[in-house]
Amino acid sequence: MTKPRTATTTWPEMEALIEADHNLWVRAAAIQHDDGWNVYLLDLVAGGQPVWDPLSWHYPRAVFAAFPAYASDVLAWFRDGKMKLGDITADLPPSSGYSTFRWNQRSSAEQPWFEPLGWPSYEVTLPARHDIQEPHGPMISAASPSFITFSTAAAAFFGMGHHSPGGARTTSKLMYRFGDRTARFVGLRIAEDFLEATIEQGTTGRHVPGTELRLELAADEPGPTPEVLDPDQSELTVRIELPTGLPEGAWVLIKSGIDWVDRRFLAYPYARGNEQDVEWIIPAQARLEGFLASRERHNAEFKSAVPTGPESKLRMMKTAAAFANGNGGSILIGVTDDREVVGIDRARLQRAIDAVSEMLGRWVTPPPPHRIEELLIEGSDRVVLEVIIDASTHIHGAGQPAETPTVYVRPFSTTEKAWPSEIEDIVRQRHGGEGPPWLSQL
């Protein structure tokens, strides 16, 4: 069986794909609603056993279950609009109402809605009900682990990472995914003058038979000639020389013909997102110099010190929200607008880190995925704090703690209030290119 060749597919084509895989792994969550039990979250996985084991959690108004299933049973669920989860039967949108679906391709490092599969994958989002209310209050059961909210339980059960921070609600999502075990990156080492890629090649991939696999370093300008991968090696390491350093807009991919199989984005001067298995061995001073050389831009902003007043705090948190709504970015504290490196006294470093963490937790809703790193200033006892904001799957707003938050974006090197159309674009990206029913009401 080959991977989907078009961006969309019909339900009969989906049935054929599901049936061809024979065995699937299922994770589901059902909620008791006014009209009975309804499937609220569903992750159907084909293409080899994923990382989870059979498991079930039971609460008064919610049930979570993970188990293997035959393709024939899965198709029967959609045909009948009913799914059995332990001793309850939950309603599922029947396939009679399905039309076409849009495929999304994910790299092995990419965090989709549910837990990554470890290999590149293809996914389809199925129609779901959006009028079901999550249970209120904590999830407590005599035989299952306790959680403060349904969203927290869902994040833990489905491996959803930062999708559901405290207080946020989880959108209903039904998804079919299958893993492409053609090849994947298992390690990348990037230095100032070379890149080493360690690649694992599988045996159950979906690329076109007989097509060579190639490793390519791509960028804003043409890169080195792609390297052909030896098909007889299950794991191999390829070294690419970088005599002038990593180029602007760099990304590395494994490709098969006209298709990419796996990829990693490598934003200059180093990876900014939560890219998996990427090791940077560029000195902190070189990283700092890379920022200074390229000035403030859509994914970087300078602050001379940790803000203390309400207006200055809000300005920085607007930028943090905008980075999370986009492709991520870095706020460098200890660098002036004129690119003068003033740094932060190491004696005050922990106080500065605590202050930034407190702002991100109270001034951005929901709090953005982030981490804080120290860039040592050569020949000094001062450091620059790099606040790295990762791209998120939520929409984030910023505002003073007592205010209603506002959504912001970062189109160029300035932070701006998002227009309704820009919010729509963010929502569609979070929903795999298609917005939920309520989007048209914005």
CATH number at residue 390: 3.30.950
pLDDT tens by residue, 254-298: 998 888 999 998 865 555 444 667 777 766 666 777 777 665 566
* Residue 36 belongs to some domain of the structure: yes
pLDDT of residue 275: 60
**Residue 145's beta-bridge partner residues?**
none
pTM for the complete prediction?
Answer: 0.68
Instruction: Tell me the residue range of the domain where 379 lies.
Output: 284-441
* Residue 1 belongs to some domain of the structure: no
Least confident piece of the model among 35-39, 107-111, 186-190, 330-334? 107-111
Same domain, 38 and 78: yes
Does residue 2 carry a pLDDT above 70?
Answer: no
* Residue 61 belongs to some domain of the structure: yes
9-18, 31-40, 208-217, 273-282, range with greatest mean pLDDT: 31-40
Out of 280, 299, 334, a domain closes at 280
pLDDT band at 159 (very low <50, low <70, confident <90, very high): confident
Same domain, 230 and 355: no
pLDDT band at 74 (very low <50, low <70, confident <90, very high): very high
The secondary structure of 250-283 as a DSSP string is -EEEEEETTEEEEEEE--TTS--S--TTEEE---
pLDDT of residue 436: 39
Q: How many domains does the chain have?
A: 3
234-248, 300-314, 419-433, range with greatest mean pLDDT: 300-314
CA separation for the pair 270, 280 (Å, rounded): 7
Query: Residue 215 class from Cβ within 10 Å (0-12 exposed, 13-18 middle, 19+ buried)?
Result: buried
CA separation for the pair 247, 59 (Å, rounded): 53
CA separation for the pair 221, 247 (Å, rounded): 8
* Residue 33 belongs to some domain of the structure: yes
CATH number, residue 238: 2.60.40
Same domain, 292 and 331: yes
Tell me the CA distances in angstroms from 72 to 9, 44, 114, 152, 178, one per residue in order: 20, 13, 23, 32, 16
27-41, 260-274, 293-307, range with greatest mean pLDDT: 27-41
And the tokens for 308?
A: 């203390």
pLDDT exceeding 90 applies to what percent of the chain? 40
* Residue 117 belongs to some domain of the structure: yes
**Whole-number average pLDDT of the chain:** 83
Does residue 61 carry a pLDDT above 50?
Answer: yes
Same domain, 264 and 121: no
Out of 280, 301, 318, a domain closes at 280
Same domain, 236 and 301: no
Same domain, 248 and 303: no
Same domain, 175 and 185: no
Cβ neighbours of 141 (radius 10 Å): 13
pLDDT tens by residue, 182-209: 899 999 988 888 999 999 998 765 555 5
Question: If you average pLDDT over residues 37-62, what whole number do you get?
Answer: 89
CA separation for the pair 44, 17 (Å, rounded): 12
CA separation for the pair 294, 342 (Å, rounded): 18
Does residue 51 carry a pLDDT above 60?
Answer: yes
Give the 3-state secondary structure of residue 165.
coil
Same domain, 170 and 187: no
The secondary structure of 129-157 as a DSSP string is -S-PPPPPS-B--SSS--BSSHHHHHHHH
* Residue 3 belongs to some domain of the structure: no
CA separation for the pair 280, 189 (Å, rounded): 6
430 touches 389 (CB < 8 A): no
Does residue 358 carry a pLDDT above 70?
Answer: yes
pLDDT of residue 163: 43
Same domain, 394 and 432: yes
pLDDT of residue 299: 77
Same domain, 164 and 203: no
pLDDT band at 440 (very low <50, low <70, confident <90, very high): very low
pLDDT of residue 430: 60
The number of residues in the chain equals 442
Question: If you average pLDDT over residues 403-426, what whole number do you get?
Answer: 84
Same domain, 305 and 352: yes
Same domain, 371 and 295: yes
pLDDT exceeding 70 applies to what percent of the chain? 85
pLDDT tens by residue, 361-378: 999 999 998 989 888 887
* Residue 248 belongs to some domain of the structure: yes
DSSP character for 297?
B
* Residue 2 belongs to some domain of the structure: no
Does residue 434 carry a pLDDT above 60?
Answer: no
pLDDT of residue 147: 93
And the tokens for 291?
A: 């920022």
Please report where in the chains the tokens 């803000």 appear, as a residue. 307
Out of 179, 207, 236, a domain closes at 179
The residue that leads in pLDDT, 228 or 247, is 228
